[in-house]
Amino acid sequence: MRRIRADIGRMELAAIVADTLRAHDVDAVLVGSSVVAFYSNGKYVTDDLDFVSHKPLKTIAPLMERLGFQMNGNTAVHPATKLYVQFCAPPLAIGRQPVVSVALETAHGTVETLAPTDCVLDRLMHYYHWNDEQALEQALLVARSQKIDLRRIRDVSKSEGKLEAFEQFRARLRK
């Protein structure tokens, strides 16, 4: 078993958690701001790793505890690192649309996560529905760093009734 160290990186920790859960038939998809941090090449920094899983916390908690984490509700904290892990309720969706995860091969292992376009859409949903300006900035960081499907983002935005907000995103993206 790999050791959790104070200097552990976000993607290394994500791979350790993902590998441990996968070895016990627990699905886990990395979502949220950690995905932004990865796809923006570190331009965005966060201390949390959010995973969506269909398995209940009572199944996940003992596995996290084997890694040295202490569970507090849906949050796992390890004494050796400031990084922490949160487990979010399913489904894995963007707006009303289900999402298929992609396998991201890292130097530390495989992590199931959102594709860049889905990461941008996830952040835009926070902007569209909760007026979260930070989420808009995160979407822009990813869109500027990765190849994304702008047409798909427009179509999903339109289906959410947020075409005007999409146009604001696209205008800022062009700047």
- Please state the pTM of the whole predicted model: 0.94
10-113: which CATH number, 3.30.460.10, 3.40.50.720, 3.30.70.580, 3.30.379.10? 3.30.460.10
pLDDT in tens, 70-124: 999 999 999 999 999 999 999 999 988 889 999 999 889 999 999 999 999 999 9
165 phi and psi, to 5 degrees? -65, -35
User: Which pLDDT score, from 0 to 100, does residue 96 have?
Assistant: 81
- pLDDT tens readout for residues 133-170: 999 999 999 999 999 999 999 999 999 999 999 999 99
Residue 2's pLDDT is what? 76
What Å distances lie between residue 139 and 62, 68, 126, 169, 172, CA to CA?
A: 34, 33, 10, 9, 11
Q: How far is CA 2 from the centre of its chain?
A: 22
Contacts of residue 169, defined as CB under 8 A and 6 or more positions apart, other chains included, come to 124, 127, 136, 139, 140, 153, 157
For position 1, what pLDDT does the model report?
A: 65
Rounded Cα distance between 125 and 132, Å, is: 9
Q: Is a pLDDT exceeding 90 seen at residue 3?
A: no
Domain boundaries, the chain: 10-113, 116-174
